[in-house]
């Protein structure tokens, strides 16, 4: 399959496909960050994570419609407003879900998985009832559609760059919150021993709710980014959930750097392979490779050895 390409050409292909995959990579990173917070820190499997992303995408879609109707002169910046709104809406729904559902199931992780699957079905139907089954697309302002020329053969799309920068900020923010400030310590304390954490004065319910909301909010931002590469439909989120879970597991559930590195590896491998193979085969090969590596290192790539 590599026949006919020189090494230099291969390098260019990698680079171009790499930049083409920039937004996909960012969506993956954001999705995975949200999941890493929820799964890695809380141990909760949220099968509705994709639906939270799609919620963010619909919020972005609505925001763009509002701007075209009422504030056409400010349309150029609607995306940034949409990102904030997507975070707030998805985060609020996340906190509601935690309160209504997740907190009853902390001792039964596999059951959480099933209950959140039920939730994802309900959300899909809600989207379908409100927005219809058809895909909706979002218009992007002209200035974001352009590209920056780095060399003659390599161009970087502006929207990709913006999403990249946004992702970087969020990743740094999550890192600071979880590993540099007291918050992460509280979350881990609650996970390790709920009763004891409560006894030493941590408001465990609040910690759970905010952590879950945060993870869902980040998924909402992923949805905003998603509108730039795909059309939003009620079931679009489902396509991302398996990949995202594999990214988180592959990177080592508790490691943010691992999550980002594995999102990079997986999205790049996929977009590079897609150049040579059909999209479906590229996906199959990447998934199989991830599983094969996980069999060699089931704890993920970036987990330290600890006494169990």
Q: What residue ranges bind another protein (CB under 8 A)?
A: 39, 43, 45, 101, 104-105, 107-111, 113-115, 117-122, 124-125, 128-129, 238, 242, 245-246, 249, 278, 280-281, 283-284, 287-288, 290-291, 294-295, 298, 304-308
In the complex, least distance from residue 107 CB atom to another protein, rounded to whole angstroms: 5
In the complex, least distance from residue 225 CB atom to another protein, rounded to whole angstroms: 22
- Compare residues 10 and 284 and give the one whose CB is closer to another protein: 284
In the complex, least distance from residue 197 CB atom to another protein, rounded to whole angstroms: 17
In the complex, least distance from residue 216 CB atom to another protein, rounded to whole angstroms: 17
Q: Which residues of 151-177 are buried (b: 16+ CB within 10 A; e: fewer)?
A: eeeeebbbbbbbbbebbeebbeebbeb
- Compare residues 64 and 112 and give the one whose CB is closer to another protein: 112
Q: What's the CA gap between 276 and 5, in Å, rounded? A: 11
In the complex, least distance from residue 242 CB atom to another protein, rounded to whole angstroms: 5
- Compare residues 65 and 188 and give the one whose CB is closer to another protein: 188
In the complex, least distance from residue 131 CB atom to another protein, rounded to whole angstroms: 13
- Compare residues 6 and 308 and give the one whose CB is closer to another protein: 308
In the complex, least distance from residue 189 CB atom to another protein, rounded to whole angstroms: 17
- Compare residues 14 and 105 and give the one whose CB is closer to another protein: 105
Q: What's the CA gap between 180 and 194, in Å, rounded? A: 22
- Compare residues 95 and 228 and give the one whose CB is closer to another protein: 95
DSSP annotation string for the chain: --TT--HHHHHHHHHHHHHHTHHHHHHHHHHHHHHIIIIIIH----TTHHHHHHHHHHHHHHHHHHHHHH-GGGGGGHHHHHHHHHHHHHHHHHHHHHHHTGGGGTT-HHHHHHHHHHHHHHHHHHHHHHH-SS-B-----HHHH-EEESSSS-EEEHHHHHHHHHHHHHHHHHHIIIIISHHHHHHHHHHH-HHHHHHTT--HHHHHHHHHHHHHHHHHHHHHHHTTTS-B-TTTTHHHHHHHHHHHHHH-TT-HHHHHHHHHHHHHHHHHHHHHS-HHHHHHHHHHHHHHHHHH-TT-TT------
- Compare residues 195 and 305 and give the one whose CB is closer to another protein: 305
In the complex, least distance from residue 58 CB atom to another protein, rounded to whole angstroms: 17
- Compare residues 186 and 243 and give the one whose CB is closer to another protein: 243
């Amino acid at each position: 399959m590599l026949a006919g390409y020189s090494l230099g050409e291969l390098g260019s292909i990698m680079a171009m496909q790499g930049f083409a995959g920039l937004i996909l990579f960012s969506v993956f990173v954001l999705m995975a960050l949200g999941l890493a917070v929820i799964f890695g820190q809380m141990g909760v499997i949220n099968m509705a994570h994709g639906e939270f992303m799609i919620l963010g995408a619909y919020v972005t879609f609505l925001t763009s419609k509002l701007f075209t109707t009422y504030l056409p002169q400010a349309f150029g910046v609607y995306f940034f407003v949409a990102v904030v709104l997507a975070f707030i809406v998805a985060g609020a729904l996340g906190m509601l879900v935690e309160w209504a559902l997740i907190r009853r199931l902390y001792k039964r992780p596999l059951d959480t998985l099933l209950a959140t699957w039920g939730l994802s079905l309900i959300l899909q139907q809600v989207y379908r009832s409100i927005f219809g089954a058809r895909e909706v697309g979002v218009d992007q302002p002209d200035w974001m559609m352009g590209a920056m020329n780095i060399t003659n053969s390599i161009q970087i799309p502006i929207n990709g760059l913006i999403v990249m920068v946004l992702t970087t900020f969020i990743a740094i923010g999550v890192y600071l919150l979880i590993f540099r400030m007291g918050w992460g310590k509280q979350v881990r304390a609650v996970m390790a021993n709920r009763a004891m954490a409560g006894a030493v004065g941590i408001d465990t319910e609040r910690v759970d709710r905010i952590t879950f909301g945060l993870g869902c909010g980040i998924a909402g931002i992923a949805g905003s980014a998603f509108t730039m590469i795909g059309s939003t439909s009620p079931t679009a989120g489902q396509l991302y959930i398996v990949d995202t879970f594999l990214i988180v597991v592959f990177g080592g559930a508790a490691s943010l750097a691992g999550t980002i590195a594995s999102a990079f590896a997986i999205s790049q491998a996929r977009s590079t392979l897609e150049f040579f193979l059909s999209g479906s085969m590229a996906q199959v090969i990447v998934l199989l490779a991830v599983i094969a590596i996980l069999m060699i290192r089931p704890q993920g790539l970036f987990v330290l050895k600890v006494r169990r």
